[in-house]
Amino acid sequence: MSDIIILAIESSCDDTGAAVVANGNILANVVASQSIHEKWGGVVPELASRAHMQHVVPVVHEALQIAGIDKKDLSAIALTAGPGLIGSLLVGATFAKSFALALDIPLISVNHLQAHVMALLIDEPKPSFPFLCLLVSGGHTQLIVVKAPLDFEIIGQTTDDAAGEAFDKTAKILGITYPGGPLLDKLAQKGNHTIHKFPKPQIAELDFSFSGFKTSVLYYIEKQKKLNPNFVAENINDLCAAIQYTIVETLTDKVLKAIEQTGITQVAIAGGVAANSGLRQKLQLLSQQKGFDLYIPAFQYCTDNAAMIAITAQYQYMKNDFADQSLAPYPRVSL
């Protein structure tokens, strides 16, 4: 059988990524992050689209160069088709379609959420099937039974905000600049989580809700600021620790419940919030105490990256799951 070599493009939000996979091995994974949004306190969609436009060609060049692959050797071009910001998706998709057309090779349309989960199949050790995956990204929080590559069953999800939004929105309340989640994580590591207490959201079954939690943080901060205008500055590390602790406990409680309900003991996490130090540590502790096997992707494969698009595309290629030139990105789509 000849080699399967795929170039993948990821442009769903504010990072432009390109990766090359050859027969299941990632040869290159390049990401250009956009610092432009820091000034605005969040991702500005139109600025993101323009930055993708500037980054996509250099990033692809670099990925091919690192991989040592000539474009003529490519078997297919993969792209993120959604979910994401439509302007950002259009840049990646238009580039991918043009490149595939010029090289006369097939296109592969990849679901960004599926790809976050498929990132677990990049490095050894890999979970065996079926495994339970907590997918925690900026827009999604889901508990999934992964039955086989590309075969998912959602058994729980958020009814409002995602865990990533809970981090980002509470970080904003504290005046922590974008990107809120990673910065809150850093400060939390220097704090004590027992000084301030926030109620854990109580939601039935395996579902989640974080919007009430965000409101309780807001009310608490407003009340304390009336008593002491310097309250946030004086308590920042402990506040971050308490927020992180509450979000992590909420997530891990549901993971334990899902293990109990399904009987599955292969457990994994994926998505940007899987980079959170508190979540990683708590799950590592629980896996030792409760005896389940834990799989966490390397940091670079948790947050948005093209390697996860490439590995997903590799499996789609083997199933002859190709897209045609009429493909258009879709901003809202589930697993």
Which chain residues interact with Zn ion by CB under 5 A?
Answer: 137, 304
What secondary structure, in 3-state letters, does the chain show?
A: CCCCEEEEEECCCCEEEEEEEECCEEEEEEEEECHHHHHHCCCCHHHHHHHHHHHHHHHHHHHHHHHCCCHHHCCEEEEEEECCCHHHHHHHHHHHHHHHHHHCCCEEEEEHHHHHHHHHHCCCCCCCCCEEEEEECCCCEEEEEEEECCEEEEEEEECCCCHHHHHHHHHHHCCCCCCHHHHHHHHHCCCCCCCCCCCCCCCCCCCECCHHHHHHHHHHHHHHHHHCCCHHHHHHHHHHHHHHHHHHHHHHHHHHHHHHHHCCCEEEEECHHHHCHHHHHHHHHHHHHHCCEEECCCHHHCCCCCHHHHHHHHHHHHCCCCECCCCCCCCCCCC
Q: Is 17 in the site for ligand KG4 (CB under 6 A)?
A: no
Query: In this chain, which of 138, 156, 201, 329 binds ligand KG4, going by CB under 6 A?
Result: 138
Query: In this chain, which of 80, 158, 266, 276 binds ligand KG4, going by CB under 6 A?
Result: 276
Q: Is 185 in the site for ligand KG4 (CB under 6 A)?
A: yes
Closest distance of CB 133 from Zn ion, Å: 14
Q: Looking at beta carbons only, is 129 or 299 nearer to ligand KG4?
A: 299
Q: Looking at beta carbons only, is 54 or 281 nearer to ligand KG4?
A: 281
Closest distance of CB 270 from ligand KG4, Å: 8
Q: Is 272 in the site for ligand KG4 (CB under 6 A)?
A: yes
Query: In this chain, which of 75, 88, 303, 314 binds ligand KG4, going by CB under 6 A?
Result: 303
Q: Looking at beta carbons only, is 161 or 304 nearer to Zn ion?
A: 304
Closest distance of CB 181 from ligand KG4, Å: 2
Fill in the per-residue mask, 154 to 183: x = in contact with ligand KG4 (CB under 6 A), - = not in contact.
Answer: ----------x--xx----------xxxx-
Q: Looking at beta carbons only, is 264 or 307 nearer to Zn ion?
A: 307
List residues binding ligand KG4 (CB under 6 A): 13, 116, 137-139, 164, 167-168, 179-182, 185, 271-273, 275-276, 303-304
